[in-house]
Amino acid sequence: MNEKSVCRYDLHVHTYEGSACARSVGADMADFYKSKGYSGFVVTDHCWSGNTRVDRSLPWKDWLSEFRKGYEHAKERGEEIGLSVFYGWEYSFHGNDFITLGLDNDWLLEHPEVTELDLVDYLNLVREAGAYVIHAHPFFEARYIPYIRLLPHHVDAVEVLNAPKTEFCNERALEYARAYDLTMTGGSDCHSTDAKALAGIELDHPVDSLAGLISALRNREHRVFRYED
């Protein structure tokens, strides 16, 4: 009997092109994840509200074009090596981070008001438009984060395993997700091909689109895993 195949996806990856804190370009990230046995990943660069590398003074259309380049470079390389690469972004509000999946630049181009919205209005708008939102590392504490904010009725999932964060941070996130019966996800929060701590989700089948990945998350077909080399 053949063993069931396992397909691994990372839902939280940054590239040099889009995130000021990242050190590796999208194409190199694709090679890195392929070498680690992943089936794909989502580029979730820091957007207009966070630590973006893209010049905020650019016209909105031009900003969006530049912001997408890390994803485009990763996807182009992924197509060459047989790796799925999907597009999302990480929205920030005073250091609280929310991975947004399922919308694209066409939608963003029609909604420039997203850059002016507060947190709850942003979450309401994107979810009403069909986005899937993951609260990333909700219990992470740092000097630039004045408050821990929990919004269980405004997100779809909680990142209960963020590979580089502390066990305390991840354990509290797990308790939070269980308390509100929120979907649990994992991610590496990867910024470089030097990363040692990786995570993600496992599926028993491949997905060839972001819609398919989101459907698997909504149906809770996945398992959270920590990568071990």
Per-domain residue ranges of the chain: 7-226
The enclosing H or E element of 31 equals helix 26-35
Q: How many CB atoms lie within 10 A of CB 130?
A: 12
- Rounded CA separation 52/110 (Å): 20
Q: 2 pLDDT exceeds 50?
A: no
Position 221 confidence tier, pLDDT thresholds 50, 70, 90 = very high
Residues whose CB is less than 8 angstroms from the CB of residue 15 and which lie 6 or more positions away in sequence, other chains included:
22, 24, 25, 26, 29, 43, 45, 70, 71, 73, 74
Q: Could you tell me which residues are beta bridge partners of residue 91?
A: 98
Q: How many CB atoms lie within 10 A of CB 224?
A: 18
* Lookup: tokens for 143: 């000097």
Would you say 26 and 74 are in contact if contact means Cβ atoms under 8 Å apart? Answer: yes
Indicate the SS3 state at residue 64.
helix
- pTM: predicted TM-score of the whole model, two decimal places: 0.96
Percent of the chain with pLDDT over 70: 98
Which of 96, 83, 89, 84 is CA-nearest to residue 69?
89
- Rounded CA separation 38/52 (Å): 26
CATH of domain 7-226: 3.20.20.140
**For the segment 14-39, what is each residue's pLDDT rounded down to a tens digit?**
999 999 999 999 999 999 999 999 99
Q: What average pLDDT does the segment 55-79 reach?
A: 98
Q: Which of 16-20, 143-147, 153-157 has the lowest mean pLDDT?
A: 143-147
* pLDDT at residue 126, as a whole number: 98
Q: What average pLDDT does the segment 68-97 reach?
A: 98
**Residues constituting the chain:** 229
The enclosing H or E element of 132 equals strand 132-136
Query: Could you give the C-alpha distances from 12 to 60, 85, 122, 140, 185, in angstroms and in order?
Result: 24, 12, 20, 15, 10
Q: What average pLDDT does the segment 197-218 reach?
A: 98
Alpha helix (H) ranges present in 102-209? 105-110, 119-128, 167-180
Position 4 confidence tier, pLDDT thresholds 50, 70, 90 = low
